C-alpha cells in the first residue's frame, strides 16, 4: 500500500489511523516499506506516524544522532504530540533514545528493535563500496536471517543511495556518529516502560546488545524472535505485531 506523504513546513511524514500516537523512527537505510505491515496492523487502534528523517538534508555539522533527535523534537512540537508510544529500528532506536533522554515528558513508552546506541556491526566506514552491486546485495542480505527478504527492489534502493556521493558521505557520517554516541552511562535515566523486540539471529546488533540494553534499562522487558535478523518488523511482522500489541495494551490509557 502506498501512503500519502504529508508536509508541515519542511517536515515530511506519514500519518494513518487515530487513537494514541505511535511514532515510528526508521534506520539508516530505512524506507516506508519497512513498516508497511506494522502500519496496516496498528492504524486500526493508534494514530501511527512516521516522520521522514532528513538523513541527507542536514548540514555536515548537524548530520549526527543528536541532529536527528533535534529534528524529532521539531516534529513533536509541530504536531503537538504528547504521551507518545515511540518505536525505533536500528539508528531510529538510537535517535529515539537520545530524544527521550532530552524530552522525557513527551514519551509514554519506548520500543526498540535492533537499536544502535551501545554496539553495532555497522555498515560503517568501509560500507559504501560504490559500483559493486554484488557487494551491496550481500551486505543488504546480512540484515536478514532469510536473505530472500533482500529483494531486488530493496537492493536497488540501497545501491542507488551509496552511488550518490553526497548521500554516501552522509551515511558514513551518521554511522560514525552512532558508534561515538554510546548511551551506556545514560540509559538508567529512562523511566518509561521499554519493550525490546530482538531477532535472535541479528548480526548487526547481536543478541548480546539486547541483553545489555535490558540490563541498563531498569523498566525494560526483552522479547526474542527466532530465525530473525536486524529488522523483525519486516522479516516476521506477524510475530512482531503480537508482541507489540500486548505491550501497548498493557500501557493504554
**Per-residue pLDDT at 209 exceeds 50:** yes
Task: Give the pLDDT of residue 28.
Answer: 87
- In this structure, of 41-50, 91-100, 140-149, the range with the lowest mean pLDDT score is 140-149
Q: Pick the closest to residue 231 from 164, 105, 132, 141 (CA basis).
A: 141
Cell digits for 252? Answer: 493504554
Rounded Cα distance between 136 and 237, Å, is 24
Task: Give the pLDDT of residue 136.
Answer: 87
- In this structure, of 1-5, 128-132, 144-148, 241-245, the range with the lowest mean pLDDT score is 128-132
| Domains and their CATH numbers in the chain | 6-250 (3.40.50.1820)
**Per-residue pLDDT at 123 exceeds 60:** no
Q: Given pLDDT bands bounded at 50, 70 and 90, which one contains residue 146?
A: very high
DSSP character at residue 224:
E
- In this structure, of 81-85, 119-123, 208-212, 233-237, the range with the lowest mean pLDDT score is 119-123
CB 22 within 8 A of CB 51: no
H helical segments located in the chain: 36-42, 65-79, 91-102, 133-141, 152-162, 165-180, 207-216, 232-235, 237-250
Amino acid at each position: 500500500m502506498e501512503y500519502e506523504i504529508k508536509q508541515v513546513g519542511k517536515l515530511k511524514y506519514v500519518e494513518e489511523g487515530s487513537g494514541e500516537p505511535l511514532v515510528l523512527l526508521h534506520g539508516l537505510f530505512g524506507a516506508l516499506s519497512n513498516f508497511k505491515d506494522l502500519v496496516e496492523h496498528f492504524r486500526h487502534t493508534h494514530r501511527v506516524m512516521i516522520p521522514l528523517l532528513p538523513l541527507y538534508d542536514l548540514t555536515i555539522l548537524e548530520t549526527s544522532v543528536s541532529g536527528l533527535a533535534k529534528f524529532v523534537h521539531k516534529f513533536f512540537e509541530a504536531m503537538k504530540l504528547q504521551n507518545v508510544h515511540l518505536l525505533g529500528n536500528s539508528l531510529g532506536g538510537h535517535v529515539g533514545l537520545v530524544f527521550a533522554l532530552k524530552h522525557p515528558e513527551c514519551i509514554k513508552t519506548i520500543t526498540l528493535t535492533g537499536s544502535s546506541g551501545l554496539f553495532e556491526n555497522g555498515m560503517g566506514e568501509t560500507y559504501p563500496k560504490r559500483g559493486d552491486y554484488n557487494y551491496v546485495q550481500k551486505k543488504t542480505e546480512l540484515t536478514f536471517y532469510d536473505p530472500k527478504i533482500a529483494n531486488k527492489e530493496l537492493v536497488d534502493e540501497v545501491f542507488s543511495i551509496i552511488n550518490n556521493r553526497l548521500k554516501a558521505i552522509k551515511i558514513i557520517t551518521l554511522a560514525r556518529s552512532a558508534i561515538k554516541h554510546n548511551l551506556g552511562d545514560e540509559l538508567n535515566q529512562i523511566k518509561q516502560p521499554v519493550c525490546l523486540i530482538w531477532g535472535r539471529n541479528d548480526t548487526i546488533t547481536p543478541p548480546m546488545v539486547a541483553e545489555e540494553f535490558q540490563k541498563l534499562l531498569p523498566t525494560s522487558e526483552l522479547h526474542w524472535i527466532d530465525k530473525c535478523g536486524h529488522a523483525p518488523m519486516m522479516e516476521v511482522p506477524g510475530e512482531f505485531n503480537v508482541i507489540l500489541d500486548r505491550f501497548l495494551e498493557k500501557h493504554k490509557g
